[in-house]
Structure formats: structure tokens, C-alpha cells
Structure 1
């Protein structure tokens, strides 16, 4: 059998291609040389279950979609937390460097968080060019240990929906069964033996087991079927001429429903795959009618993984069946799309298959022992090498978490392997995605093939690959952009060739940038990098050096994409898990006899800031600020007050001047430029604050600030005797990248009375988003346990420099 298949393989690909095949090859070769810069992103989180008030920690991996290698493309990653009501309740601007980034959410009451299922979503602006195909989505649970979770009860009634179209209809929030029947290759053809896969889910995508019988038009029983994994299965059928088929399905509550199978085609081609001697055998089948209508038909097979073609061939079909071995060695690991075209470039059949590779790597970690005492130090050693002992270049993140009495099922959530190699290429929810990559599941590859025959059959992301280079409406963001337009004060005429000066003041540092407006009055400052909140100072002046014009600013960050999250009814085992976790956390509180406020919780770790003489100002950071005391001395006039209040300033009815400058300072009263006569009319009792800016920050005032500025603020704006407003200058706070925190882990080897007196029942014991092996392929970390008798899960995820995703899991116990 094997020799015959090898012969067929050589025969199939030895004949010269037709003109169509050559044209197709040229277009594919062009695409391979210049593929779209498609990004994928994955978030590794410390846990999947959280209580209100805890922190959610994440590590972002952004890769080049075709190779899964880290991709230094976009610098801004939008990470959003979406509530069960489909509202974005928090949004982080995460900085990506070299394809890596990290951040966190504090799940505080102030966000309006309540128990339920939330969605964590991540994407770049560049990803929006491909709809939501590459947007990362993950569900997390937020619970309260002392209250009932908001879990929707399941409906007892079940309604079946037959669906043979490409897209799901929008369904109401009820318990329904959606049954899909999908012929292998795409179509049923008269007289051609075919596999038909099926899948049954509720309206939330949760699998439902079922069984049934296939009947023809004459109600003759044709075959029996039964789901074998997560509501999926398949059966064999050979459609007869002029027959239609339907299924009688028995639901979980023993109701009988009728579902029509796809219509049988009179002509066409099918594509099927079977495993023989651990080889994937591809079979092309047709019927005699098709063969007679198209004698010696030239068929072209294109085989692609993540949009890149790795195998192609054209053959003249002379019989109703042709088989050959798929050369798996030509493909990378992942989902491969096989598409069969006729000589008119029309796709006739399509099949997805998973190519698994045995990777030549060995990543592991070890602890010194499997049983620890409470608050004992844990030393963990990580080894990352290939089979020959050579060190791997890789980047990892690791979490150590309290199981809270639940035996963690790592199959039921996505990890970096299942996401990059499978789940990210199939639209829709994949139930238990890690099951298909867990070597302890012997039938996993057979079940993965069922998944590709059903869910992958209709929703494979890379089907749109030929159009991925079109309509690039969303730019790649290499940093923060501050942009806008300068217009005339009267009307909306653009101010061309205006100088725009920008000063950013952030954590005592300043950045000064200049730009000139174009013919449309546009200015733009690109690729800016800063964290936290900064003060932005903008000023504009015309070619004559006069402050003229009005700013119209663009939004700094892009608006979020539409939310499509629909909170779902939890399955029974998920509800049981939530209940167990809630009960365990509640019991910990009772067992240790502590109020919530005396627990050791997340600590925000920030570097000690060097004390500065500057204070925040409406226009940035003032070099000096004076605020009159309520019972302080009174001064006869404003000039005397300025001279006494502000060091190194000379003030008189003629001018106010810094001693370091020869010219007068700019004086603003409540934001309005003021002359000496107006200044002299202000009572000292109406002064609320005086600020002095004489450093780089004064650049925001343009040439008028060359000699520094004195800013006077009056009580209730009493100094604003003029309605004149300043349009050519702006001072406002702007938010940069998230000011990321460091995960705090206590050190019980040091004496810290306040900390040591607090009970340590942390659910995340350790989180480290950046672990890189040294030149020998090793890395070491250490941390201290909490003081609970429990099991601790260790979960390491990461990726190598050549794009191999890594997952390693282990556990140990803490016991007194």
C-alpha cells in the first residue's frame, strides 16, 4: 500500500502545470516574497479566576503571524477589560518592545466590577486592517468569596437549529441547540462516498452531546451517528441520485428533532484526508458524470499554512479517485489549508488538516522539593535547551498560584501553544483548546481533526489571505502620536507654515519638539514614548513670530473596536469550580480569623522619587510656587507681594523681571496676558497662588516666554477683567503608556514587623513576566510561599527566537 501511494505521489506532481497553474504559482510566489505584516498577540495571565480588589497581571507576546516569531512591529497594544454587560470598564495602553510587553489591571470596586464572566481583549491599531480576525480574546471569572456569584440559570427547554450557512445567526439569550452538518471537503456529491462531520452546541458555543439517525427522502434509515467528543462526531454516507437526507436527533433531555442535511450535488469534486501508517493520505474523488463532462480535467492543489503556500501541484484527473501522501516535512507546525481548483481557477473543495512536528527542544523547571512549609522560600531552576544540550534563546513568563482546593484543568483555557498554533486561526470559541495539545490525551489528534472538520470548515481565518494586502486604513503605531490642526481664529481656514512647539513634562523630565504646519494646517509629533501622565504644553506662532492661530487637537489614541462579547451560561463543571474557589477563599478568611483589611495584598512598588523644587502647574512644572497663608502678612500692593514671594525677581509698576534676564517676564493673570496697569489694580487679598516658570517649560509661551513667566491666579477668577482667551497656547495632561507596576513578593528572611504580622493568604504567590535563559540555557528565581496549607500550581509560558511556543506546568504542596 505504501509503495503504491508513493508512486501516486510521484505521478501526481511530475506532469507539467497548465497556464492557469503557472499564473497561480506566480501570484503565490509574489505573496510569499512580500506577505502582509500580519501580527498576532497572546496574553499570558497569572490566573483565570480573581476576587474583587485583586490584580490581574499579564504578559503580551506579539508575533509575526506566518512564523510565530516575536515581531517588533507595533509599539502600542490596547488591552481592554470588558464587563458581562459588554462595556469596556478599563483600558491599558501597553508598550511593546521587541514584540514583548506587560501590564496589569487592579480589579477595584471603583471600576464597577461585580461577580461574573469578563473578557480580556488585546489588539494593535494595525490589526484593525483585518477586521477582528487577529484580536486576542480571553474569558476570566471575577468572584466574591462571601457573596453569591451572578450565574444565569440554564433553561430547561431546548430548541434545535439546523445551520448549513457560513455565518451564525444572532441568537437570543436562551438555551438552544445549534446543529451543523459539514461534508468533508465542502459538498455532498451523488455516488461519492463521503465523511460528514457534525457539531452540536448551545447558543454560547458550549458543546452538547447528541445522537441520531440519518434518513433519506423515503424515510429509509441510512446510518446512525453519535457525538464522541465535545458534541462532535462524523459518519459515512454515499448519496444516491435524486435523494435528500435528514437527521433525527435525540437531545440531552430526550426530545426528538429533525434537521436537514446539506443538499446533494450532481457533479463536483471532494477532498478527503485519512491517516495510514502515520502518513496523511489525500484523496480526490468525483463521480462518473463529472468525469464524463470534464474528461482529462486539470486540477490544481494548493496547500498553505498561515497564508503561505508550501506545496502546489497540478494533475490531469483520469479516474474517479486519486490518492497521494501529503509531504508533511514541507510544512511548519499548525493548520494547513488544502484547496482544490479546477482549470477555471474555481475552488472545488477544501480541507483543513493539522501538521504536528516533533520539536527538538527540552524546556523544564525544577523545585528543590515537592513539599514546603508555610512562608518557606522556594528556589526554582529553569532549563531551556535543545536535545543536543545547546541553550535556547527564548523569553518566558511564569506564575505561581494557589489552587484554592481545585484540581486545575489546564485543558479548559487557552495557552500560548494552543492559541498561536490553532485557536487564533479559527474564529469562534474553541472549547477546551489545550486538550488538543496535551500529550496525555491519546485521542487528541483525532479529535482535533473533528474540530477542523466542523468549526474550522466554516471559519478559517486565512481564507481571506489573497485580500490581506488591500485596504490598509489603519496605520502601524511606532509610538504615541500627538497631532492636530492650527486654524484662524475667525472661520476654519488652515494656518499654513505656523511653527508649533511642544513641551512634554513627565516625572521631572522635559521633552521639546518643533513642527511646522502643512498646507492644511496639520502638525504631527510621532513615535513619542513616555509612561504615566505628562503635562503637554503647546504653542504656535506665525512666520512673523507672532502668537496666532487656534489649536484643534486629534484624539491621541484610537477609539476601541466594537465589542462583540456575550457573557455565557457557565457549564456545570465551571459553576462547581467557581463555587469551590469561592468556598475555599471564604474558609481561608475564617480559618485565619482575619478581617479583609488585615490580609497581605498586592503592593504597588514604585521607585523613590528624588525630591524636586518643582510643583505641578497648569502649564507644566513650576520652578517656584507661592500660596498665601490665611493668616499671613498683608502687602500694600501686588508688586511688593511678587518681589517678596518669588525669589530673584524684581517687581515694580514699570515691569516684573527675573534677575537672570535683561527683559521683562511674561505675566499672566488667570491665563490672560496682563500689562502693568491692569496688574496694579489687583488686590493682594484676591491672590490664590503665584507661580514662576523660568526654565525650559517657559518655551510653551513662545518668544514671549524667553525671559520667563509669572503666573498669577486669583480667587474665583477676580483677575479676569477681560474676556480675552488664549487660543494659541494649550496646557493639558496627557496619558502615555501604562505606568506598569512590579509584582510584590514578600521577603520573610528580613524582619518587617508590620508585614510579618499580616496574614499571607495571597492567591498569586509569584509573577514574573520577563525570564530569559542565560548563555547556558538556565534561569533561576526564588520567592516565598503564603501560609496556607494548599497546592501551588506553576505555569511557565513563552516562545523561542525561532517561533516555537512553550508551555511547562508543575505543582507542589504547602503543609505545616
Structure 2
């Protein structure tokens, strides 16, 4: 076929003085269709109410970590699509981590975690990751069960999309199901006019797909009859046989991707047809057929992707630049480019609560690792989804695939992967839309970090084109003074901020000449410009069903262990509190004790309490929007979760705490409206006395005056803004102890080690270190990393 092709192997498109419709479409694709995708790793696949969910997000632009976005939103929904909690995660080199603390009274059901960048909201919600997480609760009136029966349907797809008279055609058969697919299934193809004699038969390659080949005849009608291993059958019609068209055959090897084209009854045969190959919405290959011929073939070398793996979308256009055939294929399916961790030492024991370690090479090209170590009890040996299948498959294909991780495992069936890709379309863009000149509407531009818009009002009037001073104070750091000029709308903008502590923003009007500045009549609001967006997509179907719980409710063994682990943690926390109480005994009374005695009545007095004195001590509360936000991170065992109104609600040891204002029951909304400069004392009581877990707020009385107000009185010209959510620190601990009072009988931790940022520094071997529980004999170790060229390291193995 010499001189038939005019071939270009290219990575970018150069603009031409006079572009054809296809060339304009390629330019449009290159310039306007850049897109991101997310993979979200969690430490477990199922949780108990009260557990901590540890997660790590990886954001990709194509097959490389994205530098486009620096912010990832991660949201937790219940099965009614009600938002439970959300996190704003800082991305560094496309990676970011965080955690959710589940409420102890969370109803048993399937929950969903949505993860996306602001830029991703410009495109279909179908490509935002929505991870399914079953959460169990032994006290719930409902119980999760795995559905026993699955309804499925089937479709048949001719390779390239065309079914032409007299042309042997490969078909992919694809099964779809809301819950799960049958383990095995088979089928036969019949001529409708002669149904008793099968033309050919096939058996499934895996749960998702099968393939067969057939040579059709014009005027014939063909049907496909499928039967699963339970005896369920379905009959579907194959496409009508065409008398003309373009037939496509594609095969992939380590040398490249070979394609063959055959034109049947075409007027000008294949002259002026174009073959376009794209990878991640970028042109990678283009060939023009310059001579009149009915058959051509060629091999696309793997250098179009620099030898890396991925999906190539082939699209064939006729002489009028109309799309006539398309095909997805995987580059080098038999040679996956996956690096393995270089382990230079390990010290692993089966002894209960023993110290274990695994050392990685300090001389590796990989410098930052994500590591998860869990007990391997042999209960779940098959991965359904992993970072490889998300990166190379499901992150770009929105249809549900059963166990996509199998296609990139050690014993992967490459024939099944090819059949799967025949049954799929590249759904990131549609060629006909791109050819028509359609451009995505970019409403959310990518921004570096977080940005805010400040609106100062003086005497309820906008301050347009006015010079002001803005004082920024981050946490306990020294404040900084910055001069700004408001714009024509009266706004000030703070752009590209990265912080994870409360940021106090104060605005001061510049005084007129000879006059003092009057800031008492100045009011300030701050509006974040990088914000979450409502979820418009649908929650994925799951294999679970919710039924009424029986009297003897059974829980999965892993959940029973998780519940026991929670009890162990609470026991240790309670013992630590008792020790603190003993240490306090015999101390001299101080002003704080006198204030507590003055404000507290009998039933609200407890030695098991933490007290914050605002009368005698400067608590640096000025600038805080409300006392509940100020309390975050200031008392051991006290955490906060946002309710539907976005208000922080206090929890103590996983249980929602009662709220009291001057010893009268109240709610969080009432507390948040209370000016912080009116507060005299805050008391945290943990599971003691008649009221149990409680947060008590006491207001000023008589001639009381806050120490904080003496130095830094509350002003309306101040606002506190929240930045990124700071990840909690995973506890690397052992429950073993020589103290009999703190002895834990049964250590049942499943997640033994979680580190989303294990760094290699100063040639010290990165060390994975953890303590065994009481039962683990072997360990599942997952390691993920990327080098400077974004080559992926993926290790998922069992250590004994």
C-alpha cells in the first residue's frame, strides 16, 4: 500500500491559514476540551457508624497528575442524596488527603462520597467520582443485605459500528446490571428464518463481555440469544445488514495498533478518507488516504504515547469530513507500564501487638508515597476498582463496569478488555458536536488555591473606589497590614490563598485629614469565590438492599471488629480523663475555679470537665464568628460536624453533645448568634453526672468584663474565614500496656497504618511502621507513588 497514506505523527495541532472542517474541529478539541478526573482511595470498603473514614484523592489531567486544580471538594451523602458533611482539600501535585468522622448514631444504609474539582463542574457530572460506602449500625432499625438476584440486559456492538453484507464482522456482547452480573453466561446467533440451527456460539470472557464473529448476508435478520448460569434468557436483534459502508478491524500489540479499513460499494472508494487518533482529547495520529482504493491497512506505532499505556480513540472521516466509523483500543495491553516498590528491608511478625516495619529504598525515583496497611484475613481477595482501572478506564467511561480492576491485574484477559472497548464510546466529547464548532461553556475557571471577595459597608453604604487597610491574622501568627482600594462595585479581592487555620480579616477605613477613623459604623462580609456546587447527577446503583432488621441482627465480621475498636478507644480516653482528674486533686483554687463555682449550679458541676475562662484569661476569641467555631481543636475528645445549615454541631466521643446556654437547653443556631464578647465561660463535660456529654455556655453577669475584650474587643469590621480542611493525624499506636487499668483485651483494628504522604528525606529510607493487632498473621500493603515524569508505582500485595 505504498504512497496511499499521507501520515502525520503529531502531538500538537498547528493552525493553518485555511482549515478544513475536520482541522477546525481538531483545533477546537485541542483548545477547549481539557478535562480532569479523580480517583478516591479510602482506607476501608465498609464502615461502622462512629468510624473515621480516611481518604486520599488523586486528580489527573489525562494520564498525568493535574496541575490545573489546587482544590478538591469531597462530600458525603446519604442514600436520599442529603449532604452529610464535606471537606475542602488542598491539592499538591494533584494529590490531597482528608478524613470524615462518622456520627455514632448514623442510620445503617449505603452512603456516597462525591469528589470533584471546581473545574470539573464545567462538564458532565457523570465523570465526577461517586464512591459507594456501606455503613453499618447495630442499633439501626434497618439492615443492609447484598441483593441475591440481579436483573440484567444485553447489547451487541459491531466493531467500528457497521454491519455490512459479506464482510466478516467481530461483535462485542455487553451485559449491564443494576446490582451484579451473572458469573458465567453464553449465547448463540441465529438466522430469524432458520432459528433451530445456530450460526455460531460463544461463552463469556468475564462477567461484562463476550465476543463472536459473523459474516452477514443482505436481507437476513439475525438475533442473539443469551443465557446465564441460572437459566435466565434474553433475545436481542443484531443491527440491520447494510449494503455499503466502511468496515474496520483493529488489533493491539506491543509493537503498535494495527488497523484495516475496507470500503464496500463506496462511490469514490476510500480516497480522501482520514484516520484520526486521539488520546485524552489530544491529537496523537492523523493519516490521509490519497489514492483510490477499497482496502488499506497500517500500524500506529506506540511512540504516539511515548510507549505509555492508555486508550486510543480511532475515528474515520469520509471525504466530506463526516464521521463514518470509530473504535476504542488499548495501547500495549500485554505490557503495562507499572513500577513496583523497591523494598530494602522488612521486619514483620505475627505476634499480637508487635512492632512491624517495611523499609523502601531511599535511592528510588519515587519520593512521596501513599501507604495503606490492613489485616489480611482472606475474606476479600479481589479488587473491584483501583487507581489503575480509574486512570486507564473508568475515569473516562461513564457506564458501569463490573470489577474493572481485573483488566489490569496480573492475570488480565486482554481479549476481554478489547471486547469491552468495542462496546464503549469515548464520552468525554462527541465528534459531531466538535465538528459543528460547539465549545464547552466554561463557567468555573481554574483558580490557584482559594479566593475571597470582601464587601465593606460604612453606614450601610458601599465604599466604592475607597482606600482601606486590611489586617490579616492567621491563627496565632502576627497580623499583617495591607492597603487596598475597593473597585467600582465596592469590593476587595483576596486571591490565591492557601491556609488551613482560621483567617481573621479586619477592614479599617482610612481617616480623613484631621479626623479620626470611625470604624464603629463599618461592617464587613467575606464571600468565598471557590465554592462547592450542588450535585445534579444520579447516585449509582449498588448491590445492597435495605430491609427491616431482625431481633438477632447479624453484622459482617469486619464491622463487629470495628465496633470493638471504637469501644477500646473510648475506654482509653475515659481512663486518661480519670488520670487528669486525679492530678487535679489537691491543687489550690484559682480564679478559674472561683468563676466556675460562681456560675455553675449543682447538677452542672463535675470534675470531669474542661473549662475556658473568658473573664480572667485572654482566650484570643476576638475575630471568631461564633464560639462553636472557636472551640474546634481546643478540647480533647470534642469534635464538630456540620449540620444541614452549615453550622458546626459539637460531638464528644462520637456522640452528639447537649448544648446549654446559662444551663438552659438550647441548639447550635442559638449559640452561633451569641456575640463572643458576651461569653464569660465555656465548660465541656464528658459523660459525667446527670447530663452526660455536654457543652455549656455561660454569659457575662454583673460587672464581669472579658480579658479578651480588654485587648481586642469584638468589631463588626472583622470577619473570620475558613480555608482548607486540615487532615487529622492517623494514630500509629499500640493498645498494649503494662498498666492493668488500661489493658485492652482484644485489639481488633483493621487499618493498621495509613499515611497519604510518606516522604523520602535526606536519604533516610522511608519506613512504613505499625503495630500488629491481636489476630493478623499477614498484611495487605498498598503503595502508590509517582515519579517526576508521572510514571506510576503501584504495589498491592500480601506480606507474610
Instruction: Render the CA deviation track for 1:234-269: whole Å, top value 9, x for unaligned.
Output: 222233223333333335543444322233334321
Q: C-alpha distance in 2, partners of 1:771/1:670? A: 43
- Equivalent in the alignment of 1:198: 173
Correspondence for 1:59 among 31, 56, 60 = 56
1:48 aligns to 2:26 (yes or no): no
Aligned with 2:160: secondary structure?
A: coil
**Secondary structure at 2:447 match in 1:** coil
CA contact (8 A) 2:373 2:754 kept: yes
Q: Which one of the candidate residues 109, 114, 129 is aligned to 1:121?
A: 114
The 5 Å alignment of 1:416-431 reads 416-431=387-402
What residue number does 1:478 align with?
A: 448
Q: Which structure 2 residue ranges, 5 or more long, are not aligned?
A: 11-15, 546-552, 578-611, 627-673, 678-699
Contact 1:340 1:348 in 2 (8 A): yes
| 1:398 alignment counterpart | 371
8 A Cα contact 1:185 1:349, kept in partner: yes
Q: Distance in 2 between matches of 1:203 and 1:339?
A: 31
1:791, CA displacement in angstroms? Answer: 3.2
Give 2:487's aligned residue. Answer: 518
Check conservation: 1:298, 1:343, Cα contact below 8 A: yes
Aligned to 1:138: 131
1:237 aligned partner:
214
Deviations 1:675-700, CA, capped at 9 Å, x for gaps? xxxxxxxxx975564455576x57x8
User: Distance in 2 between the 1:126 and 1:48 partners?
Assistant: 28
Mapped pair 1:378 → 2:356: yes
Alignment of 1:732-811 (within 5 A): 732-746=719-733, 757=744, 759-773=746-760, 778-811=765-798
1:323 matched to which residue of 2?
297
Number of the residue aligned with 2:187 = 212
SS of the residue corresponding to residue 188 of structure 1 reads coil
The answer to whether residue 615 in structure 2 is matched with residue 615 in structure 1 is no
Answering whether residue 325 of structure 2 is matched by residue 349 of structure 1, we say yes
Kindly tell me: are residues 503 and 754 of structure 1, through their superposed partners in 2, closer, same or farther at Cα, counting changes over 3 Å?
A: farther
For residue 799 of structure 1, report the CA deviation from its aligned partner. Answer: 1.9
Gaps in structure 1 of 5+ consecutive residues: 1-7, 157-174, 386-390, 572-578, 605-609, 623-668, 673-683, 702-728
| CA contact 1:381–1:778 (8 Å) conserved in 2 | yes
Q: Bigger CA drift: 512-521 or 749-758?
A: 749-758
Distance 1:480 1:15, change over 3 A: closer
Cα distance in structure 1, aligned partners of 2:767 and 2:554:
33
Shift of 1:88: 2.2
What's the counterpart of residue 724 of structure 1?
A: none
Pairing of 1:261-660 with structure 2 (within 5 A): 261-274=238-251, 280-287=257-264, 289-290=265-266, 293-295=267-269, 297-316=271-290, 318-331=292-305, 332-356=308-332, 357=335, 359=337, 361-365=339-343, 368=346, 371-383=349-361, 391-403=364-376, 405-412=377-384, 414-441=385-412, 444-454=413-423, 456-457=424-425, 459=427, 470-485=440-455, 495-499=463-467, 502-509=470-477, 510=479, 512-538=481-507, 554=527, 557-570=531-544, 582-583=556-557, 586=560, 597-598=570-571, 614-617=618-621, 619-620=623-624
Report deviation, 1:125: 0.7
- Cα distance in 2 for partners of 1:214, 1:15 equals 41
Deviation at 1:285, TM superposition (A): 2.0
Q: Which is worse superposed, 24-33 or 299-308?
A: 24-33
Distance 1:787 1:515, change over 3 A: same
Q: Which residue of structure 1 aligns with residue 695 of structure 2? A: none
Q: Does the C-alpha gap of structure 1 residues 535 and 199 become closer, same or farther in structure 2, counting only changes over 3 Å?
A: same
Name 1:73's counterpart in structure 2: 68
User: Does the CA-based 8 Å contact 1:363-1:384 persist in structure 2?
Assistant: no
Contact 1:80-1:120 at 8 Å conserved across structures: yes
Aligned length: 669
Q: Is the 8 A contact 1:618 1:732 kept in 2?
A: no
Asked if 2 retains the 8 angstrom alpha-carbon contact of 1:599 and 1:759, the reply is no
Cα distance in 1 for partners of 2:175, 2:759 equals 43
Distance 1:37 1:511 in 2: 38
Structure 2 distance, partners of 1:671, 1:784, is 44
Distance 1:691 1:10, change over 3 A: farther
CA-CA distance at 1:760 after TM superposition: 2.7
Q: Which residue of 1 aligns with 2:157?
A: 182
**Residue 99 and residue 513 in structure 1: after superposition, are their counterparts in 2 closer, same or farther (change >3 A)?**
farther
**Structure 2 contact 312–330 (Cα < 8 Å) conserved:** yes
From the CA coordinates, give the structure whose radius of gyration is larger: 1
- Distance in 1 (CA, whole Å) between partners of 2:536 and 2:480 is 35
| TM-score, normalization by structure 2 | 0.72
The 2-side partners of 1:670 and 1:119 are apart by 37
Q: Tell me by how many angstroms 1:779 deviates.
A: 2.3
Secondary structure, aligned partner of 1:297:
coil
Residues in 1 aligned to 2:93 and 2:675: alpha-carbon distance in whole angstroms? 46
Structure 1 CA distance for aligned equivalents of residues 701 and 336 of structure 2? 81
Does the Cα contact within 8 Å between 2:737 and 2:743 map onto a contact in 1? Answer: no
The CA distance in 2 between the partners of 1:685 and 1:744, in whole Å, is 42
Separation in structure 2 between the aligned mates of residue 283 and residue 31 of structure 1, nearest angstrom? 28
Tell me by how many angstroms 1:78 deviates.
0.5
- 1:99 counterpart = 2:94: yes
In the alignment, which of 73, 80, 89 is matched to residue 85 of structure 1?
80
Q: By how many angstroms is 1:461 displaced? A: 5.8
In structure 2, the residue matched to 1:662 is: none
Structure 1 residues 523-577: Cα deviation after superposition (integer angstroms, max 9, x where no partner) = 3222233324455545667988655676565356333332521342249xxxxxx
Write the distance in 2 (CA, Å) between the matches of 1:103 and 1:326: 42
CA, structure 1 residues 362+812, in 2 after alignment: closer, same or farther (shift >3 Å)? Answer: closer
Task: Supply the RMSD in Å over aligned alpha carbons.
Answer: 4.4
Question: What is the SS of the residue equivalent to 1:562?
Answer: coil
Task: Report Cα offsets for 1:422-480 as digits up to 9, x if no partner.
Answer: 22121132221221111233xx21111122112x2364568688889642210223233
Structure 2 CA distance for partners of 1:135 and 1:153, relative to 1, 3 Å: closer
Offset at residue 181 of structure 1 (A): 1.6
Work out whether residues 225 and 234 of structure 2, in 8 Å CA contact, stay in contact via their aligned partners in 1.
Answer: yes
State how far apart, in whole Å, the 2-side matches of 1:360 and 1:808 are.
9
Cα distance in 2, alignment partners of residues 793 and 581 from structure 1:
23
1:670/1:400 Cα in 2 relative to 1: closer, same or farther (>3 Å)? closer
Deviation for aligned residue 1:304 = 1.4
TM-score by length of 1: 0.71
Partner-residue secondary structure (3-state), 1:422: helix
Contact 1:598 1:758 in 2 (8 A): no
- Once the two structures are TM-superposed, the CA of residue 401 in structure 1 deviates from its matched residue by 0.9
Contact 1:497–1:542 (Cα < 8 Å) also in 2 = no
Change (3 A) 1:773 1:364: same
